[in-house]
Amino acid sequence: VLSTPFAQVGYSSKTIECKESRIGKQPIAVPSNVTIALEGQDLKVKGPLGELALTYPREVELTKEESGFLRVKKTVETRRANQMHGLFRTLTDNMVVGVSKGFEKKLILVGVGYRATVDGKELVLNLGFSHPVKMQIPDSLKVKVEENTRITVSGYDKSEIGQFAATVRKWRPPEPYKGKGVKYSDEIVRRKEGKAGKKK
């Protein structure tokens, strides 16, 4: 019986280190008009514009330094902890900026007959449908309409502002041929060339 030697396959046990998030390790400045209340993994931020709360996962923790800065740190070295590190640092910073300065999102209506008005706590949109679209404005948001085609959504909760603006845009997203629809003020709509006529 012939025995053929097999080539040995070598395995190297190398520890994979998670790189620290560049965003996550940045400190968060707290203005003098903002109050921070931290209990375990629960954070409450109160400012002149409103109050927000956030619960941190067990992979990260929030600490307050003697200098007054907030810092988000990882409690374990895992891939998920690395993902949560940058995310919750950004969420915390958005809360502090939101209750002190606020955020806003601007939308523009493009199209013949497209217009918007604010009726009490409702945003009324005319977007070429057989009926006007009525949207209830959340209590924490302010909606202002200028020139019937420019909508400004403002408030202290950045995620709620973004969600409301996205819902407005969803009714009539900008189409690529004539650019008609509801678009963000800083949005660039990639245009397409229409069908060319028959060449004789």
Using CA atoms, how far residue 17 sits from 73, 76, 78, in Å, is: 16, 12, 8
- The token duo for 177 is 């041929």
Give residue 194's pLDDT: 73
- pLDDT, tens only, 13-28: 554 555 667 888 888 9
**Is 28-101's fold the same as 103-184's?**
yes
How confident is the model at residue 8, as a pLDDT? Answer: 53
Give the chain's length. 200
Residue 77 has pLDDT above 90, yes or no: no
Pairing of strands 70-74, 103-110: unpaired
- Mean pLDDT for the stretch of residues 119-141: 92
Q: Residue 69's pLDDT is what?
A: 87
User: How much is the pLDDT for 54?
Assistant: 92
Architecture of the structural domain at 103-184: Alpha-Beta Complex (3.90)
Q: How far apart are CA 182 and CA 162, in angstroms?
A: 14
Q: Where are the domains of the chain?
A: 28-101, 103-184
| Average confidence (pLDDT) over 69-75 | 88
Say yes or no: domain 28-101 is CATH 3.90.930.12: yes
Residue 147 buriedness (CB in 10 A; 0-12 / 13-18 / 19+): exposed
**Residue 182 confidence (pLDDT) above 90:** yes
For the sheet containing 115-119, what is the strand order? 115-119, 122-126, 133-136
Which pTM was predicted?
A: 0.80
Give the pLDDT band of residue 130 (cuts 50, 70, 90).
very high
- Tokens 């030697």 identify what position? 5
pLDDT of residue 52: 93
- Predicted local confidence at residue 197, as pLDDT: 60
pLDDT beyond 70 at 199: no
| DSSP code at position 96 | H
pLDDT confidence of residue 83: 87
